[in-house]
């Protein structure tokens, strides 16, 4: 059984020894599985970092009640989401394959979805919260995948009195929804119910105060704070988006010792070097010195920088760090077990040494006189035991001549 750390207070979400699988493979076979995971969560947010092969999709499906786990229990506010229909209406789900109820328009589709809620909300209000009012009159079939996902996000985060929020890759394909608005909405929900964000992006996981690594179907480790805890500390890394003058910015940065490495990916390659745009990934020993170097180089080169973001470890680096930690734990456990067995063997040897041998004499290897041959205080020395000493104490009766094995006359 693998267990993520328990949150204080009464948990609203409880998983116990859950074994489950998804049906995302060919012919509905499993791509990922869960192997006896346990989790307790109250009103808080947590990011679960992993790939589908690690069991992320299987976790999302049992949380929202789409599938029943093969073994174990899932409880949301004390109820099984697979069996409790009224509970599922209060579970907000954001998936990777968005879908809306078929209707004549987006407004009608949203009205149909909200009709199952305990307290229905006006469809126009649902769309307006994320600035999607213009999509209302359009036909559902005319929406792009990004637009459908935007409407699904708006629906999921408008549920009144939510019991749970499960967001699978919440920050993917957000062309229609401002990222800051989505972060704010998830933070609001985390004050009243558990919010589980499942993602394969460590950069997205850093937006949450706590991250749990799902590795090969088990919760391998947990970290709090910045994403740096997901992987070993590396050099500081900043990503810079440049709309023009990218090559000149690279040249200026290369002369600053704070930048130890620069990777440049040109998005346009104009004949005029100053018109070149692209993305720079700059690394250095100190993040503050690196940011200052980028600011100085931008001013000196005249480049147009549109955004700067802190770099994050990739999923491969998180997996490598997780494997290293698991092997370290296994080695430490083996060493502890070896020490315990050695201590047990020493204790058994001492107990055998204290046990009396035949005729009340010390057992072979015992030291009745104390360690180093010194007599123990208060312990008398045992009498000498030899044929000569025994002959002096009691006579030895031998048969008379000629009697053979017969007993002597009495």
- Pick the last residue of a domain from 207, 226, 245: 226
Residues 31 and 105 in one domain: yes
Identify which has the larger pLDDT, 344 or 390: 344
Query: Which residues, listed in sequence order, are joined to residue 48 by a DSSP beta bridge?
Result: 198, 212
Residues 15 and 118 in one domain: yes
Residues 70 and 210 in one domain: yes
Please report, rounded to a whole number, the percentage of residues in the chain having pLDDT higher than 70. Answer: 80
The strand pair at 164-168 and 195-199 is best described as parallel
* pLDDT at 373 (0 to 100): 47
Residues 206 and 130 in one domain: yes
Lowest-pLDDT range of 82-86, 94-98, 310-314, 323-327: 310-314
Q: Report the alpha-carbon distance of residue 301 to residue 253 in Å, rounded.
A: 9
Residues 249 and 287 in one domain: yes
pTM over 0.75? The answer is no
Identify which has the larger pLDDT, 372 or 187: 187
DSSP E strands in 32-155: the ranges are 33-41, 45-49, 71-76, 91-94
Is residue 370 in some structural domain?
A: no
* SS3 state of residue 1: coil
Query: What φ, ψ does residue 17 adopt, rounded to 5°?
Result: 50, 50
Is residue 312 scored above 50 in pLDDT?
Answer: yes
pLDDT band at 207 (very low <50, low <70, confident <90, very high): confident
Question: pLDDT digit string (tens) for 239-282?
Answer: 899 988 888 999 999 999 988 888 888 876 655 555 688 888 88
The strand pair at 261-268 and 277-284 is best described as antiparallel
387 close to 395: Cβ distance less than 8 angstroms: no
pLDDT band at 202 (very low <50, low <70, confident <90, very high): confident
214 close to 48: Cβ distance less than 8 angstroms: yes
Residues 18 and 93 in one domain: yes
Number of domains composing the chain: 3
Is residue 208 scored above 80 in pLDDT?
Answer: yes
DSSP E strands in 143-300: the ranges are 164-168, 195-199, 210-215, 218-224, 236-244, 261-268, 277-284
- Pick the last residue of a domain from 284, 310, 336: 310
151 close to 132: Cβ distance less than 8 angstroms: yes
Is residue 374 in some structural domain?
A: no
Determine the distance from the C-alpha atom of residue 249 to the mean position of all C-alpha atoms in its chain, rounded to a whole number. 39
Query: What φ, ψ does residue 190 adopt, rounded to 5°?
Result: -65, -15
Going by C-alpha positions, the residue among 224, 196, 232, 233 that lies closest to residue 50 is: 196
> Which CATH number do you get for residue 288?
3.30.70.120
257: domain range?
Answer: 236-310
């Amino acid at each position: 059984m693998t267990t993520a750390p328990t949150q204080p207070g009464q948990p609203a979400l409880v998983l116990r020894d859950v074994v489950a699988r998804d049906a995302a493979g060919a012919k509905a076979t499993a791509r990922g599985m869960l192997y006896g995971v346990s989790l307790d969560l109250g009103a808080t947010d947590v990011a679960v970092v992993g790939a589908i092969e690690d069991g992320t999709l299987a976790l999302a499906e049992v949380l929202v009640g789409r599938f029943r786990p093969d073994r174990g229990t899932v409880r949301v506010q004390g109820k099984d989401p697979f069996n409790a229909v009224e509970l599922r209406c209060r579970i907000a789900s954001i998936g990777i394959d968005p879908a809306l109820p078929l209707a004549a328009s987006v407004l009608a589709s949203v009205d149909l979805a909200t009709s199952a809620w305990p307290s229905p909300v006006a469809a126009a209000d649902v769309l307006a919260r994320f600035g999607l009012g213009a999509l209302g009159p359009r036909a559902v079939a005319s929406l792009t995948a990004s637009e459908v996902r935007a409407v699904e996000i708006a629906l999921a985060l408008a549920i009144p009195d939510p019991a749970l929020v499960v967001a699978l890759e919440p920050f993917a394909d957000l062309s229609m929804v401002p990222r800051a608005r989505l972060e704010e909405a998830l933070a609001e929900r985390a004050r009243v119910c558990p919010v589980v964000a499942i993602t394969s992006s460590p950069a997205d996981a850093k937006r949450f105060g706590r991250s749990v690594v799902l590795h090969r179907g088990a919760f391998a480790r947990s970290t709090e704070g910045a994403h740096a805890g997901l992987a070993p500390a590396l050099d500081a890394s900043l990503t810079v988006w440049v709309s023009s003058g990218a090559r000149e910015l690279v040249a200026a940065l290369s002369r600053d010792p704070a930048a130890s490495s620069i990777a440049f990916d040109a998005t346009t390659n104009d004949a005029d070097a100053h018109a070149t745009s692209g993305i720079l990934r700059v690394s250095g020993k100190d993040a503050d010195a690196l940011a200052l170097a980028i600011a100085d180089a931008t001013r000196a080169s005249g480049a147009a920088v549109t955004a700067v973001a802190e770099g994050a470890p990739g999923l491969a680096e998180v997996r490598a760090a997780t494997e290293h930690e698991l092997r370290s734990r296994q080695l430490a456990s083996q060493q502890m077990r070896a020490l315990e067995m050695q201590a047990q063997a020493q204790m058994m040897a001492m107990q055998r040494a204290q046990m009396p041998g035949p005729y009340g004499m010390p057992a072979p290897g015992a030291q009745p006189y104390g360690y180093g041959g010194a007599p123990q205080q208060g312990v008398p020395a045992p009498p000498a035991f030899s044929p000569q000493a025994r002959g002096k104490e009691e006579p030895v009766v031998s048969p008379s001549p000629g009697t053979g094995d017969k007993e002597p006359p009495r």
